[in-house]
Structure 1
Amino acid sequence: MTLQWTAVAFFLYAEIAVNLILCIPFISAKRWRSVFNLRIWNWLSPYWNKCFFTMIMVLIVLFLDALREVQKYSGPQPMQDANVNPTVYDHVHMKLFRSQRNLYISGFSLFLWLIMRRVVTLLNQVAVTLETTAGLQAQMDSAVKASKQHQEDNLTLKQALLDEEKSMFAKNQQLKLEVEKLTHQVKAAEDAVHKSHAEVEAMKRQAKGLAHEYDRLLTEHHQLQNLQSAEDKKDQ
């Protein structure tokens, strides 16, 4: 195996190891997010995209080169030469095997390189989603607690209003009774006033009649006195 394909093979093994580590179930997405937020990754982030696309281009070139080699050694001309010469046959099949191996190595390396980036992105998204969900859950719990508190306050207020209504109703009934009692008393007082007015009128009429009778008697008395005086004068 040449140096470049040895490097690609080691790169493939490293990708497999990294993907397996990323897929370990007992390491949570939050833990991976804390790892991805280390300072070294922040320092490497400006070069990450360049490195990623560079590796894609290199792997694509190697994949196309391996594909070309496979097509080269699986064509009809090498097979005809291999059928003629047994030594060439072994050489052609060895080259075909190596080109197919290199094709698989470069293809899987490219595939796992894309998968690894996607897995890292998904882990970050899952961690952000979990943090957002935790925040929303805390807000929802706070809202539920506040809602329960408001419901309890509303029930307390309704009970207080109901008690106040009952108290006001009782006071209104008592006031109605007092108003009715006062109405009866006012009516009785009005009747008494009317009766007093009637008695006063009767007494006025009686006093007026007595005054007329007194005047009449006084007039008769004067007349009698005058008559008596006249008679006394005649007797002298």
Structure 2
Amino acid sequence: MSLVWTLIATFLYAEIAIVLLLVLPIASPYRWQKFFKSRFLAMLGRQAQMYFFLLLGVLVLFLLEAIREMRKYSHHDHEGEVHLNVEMQHSMRLFRAQRNFYISGFSIFLTLVIRRLITLISAQACLLAQSEASLKQAKSASDAARNLMKQSTETGKEAQEDKTLEELSSLRTRVQELTASLNKEQKDKESMKSQSESLNKEYDRLTEEYSKLQKKVNISGGNKDD
């Protein structure tokens, strides 16, 4: 194998390793995203498009060269006498062309696969970040709504308590007014009772005096008849 095809084969093996690293659950999309956005890759990313198409163009050229060699050694004329060594060399060159075709073809295929995997992993990391941000916003909104409901409930309880306190205060005032009115009536009743007792005493005294005067009048009348 020539040096160029050795380098292409090494590149193919490196691509296989990269694909395995990207496919296997070795690191999360966040870590891959951080790795893709590192300073070194950021410096390369400025010209990554150019490098990608340049590499792809080189691999396509080697693929076309392998196809040309395959077609060249596939149309070998087996008629006539051909030396065994020449036939073996021809078969060996055909096998080498086929090998180069597969190496370059798989290299191109894995290059496209790696590019697509990097794009998908970056998109997945962005979607995960957006979903986490949406979950945090939803959680904060839910907490805010819960706090508002709690505050409104507490406000309602406070208003109910204030209303109850006002009713109790009005009832106490009413009780005090009724108690004062009852005390006044009791005092009036006691004063009327005392007045009634004094009137009874006065009536008894006057009745007694009247009886005394009546007796005196009767006595004086009897004396005049004698």
Q: Kindly state the Cα deviation for residue 84 of structure 1 after the two structures are TM-superposed.
A: 4.4
Aligned-residue offset at 1:121: 1.6
Q: Aligned partner of 2:90: which letter?
A: V
Point out which structure has higher relative CO (alpha carbons under 8 A, 6+ apart).
2
Q: Secondary structure at the match of 1:147?
A: helix
Q: Label 1:47 to 1:81 Cα distance change in 2 as closer, same or farther (>3 A).
A: farther
State the one-letter code of the partner of 1:103.
Answer: F
Q: In the TM superposition, what is the alpha-carbon distance from 1:153 to its structure 2 partner?
A: 2.7
1:117 to 108, 115, 129: 115
Which of 95, 98, 110 is the matching residue for 1:97? 95
The 2-side partners of 1:122 and 1:23 are apart by 11
Instruction: Sort the Cα spacing of 1:151 and 1:81 in 2 relative to 1 into closer, same or farther, 3 A.
Output: farther
- After TM superposition, the score normalised by the length of structure 1 is 0.63
Contact map agreement 1:82 1:92 (CA 8 A) in 2: no
What is the deviation of 1:31? 1.0
Please give the alpha-carbon distance, in whole angstroms, between the structure 2 residues aligned to 1:150 and 1:139: 16
Give the equivalent residue in structure 2 for 1:136. Answer: 134
Deviation at residue 154 of structure 1 after TM alignment: 3.2
Q: Would you say the 8 A contact 1:70–1:100 is kept in 2?
A: yes
Give the SS at the match of 1:27.
Answer: coil
Distance 1:38 1:32 in 2: 10
Deviation at 1:83, TM superposition (A): 7.6
Matched with 1:50 is 50
Structure 2 residue ranges without an equivalent (≥5):
172-226
Structure 1: runs of 5+ lacking an equivalent: 175-236
The TM-score normalised by the length of structure 2 is 0.66
1:74-108 per-residue CA deviation (whole Å, 9 max, x = no partner) reads: 22xx0425984433322222111111100000000
The amino acid across from 1:106 in the alignment is: S
Q: Which amino acid aligns with 2:98?
A: Q
Q: How far apart in 1 are the matches of 2:61 and 2:18?
A: 23
CA distance in 1, matches of 2:81, 2:65: 25
Which residue pairs with 2:153 in the alignment? Answer: 155
- Which piece of structure 1 moves more, 122-131 or 104-113? 122-131
2:65 match? 65
Deviates more, 1:1-10 or 1:34-43: 34-43
Any conservation in 2 of the 1:82–1:90 contact (CA below 8 Å)? no
1:25 aligns with 2:32: no
Tell me if the contact between 1:79 and 1:89 (Cα under 8 Å) persists in the aligned partners: no
Distance 1:15 1:137, change over 3 A: same
Q: 1:123 to 1:155 in 2, by over 3 A?
A: same
Q: How many positions carry a matched residue from both structures?
A: 171
The superposition leaves residues 152-194 of structure 1 with CA deviations (integer Å, 9 ceiling, x where unpaired) of: 23333445566677789x79xx9xxxxxxxxxxxxxxxxxxxx
Structure 2 Cα separation of the partners of residues 61 and 28 of structure 1: 36
Does the 8 Å CA contact 1:15/1:109 hold for their aligned counterparts? yes
CA RMSD of aligned residues (A): 2.6
For 2:128, the aligned partner's letter is: L
Once the two structures are aligned, what percentage of the paired residues are identical? Answer: 36
What code does the residue aligned with 2:125 have? A
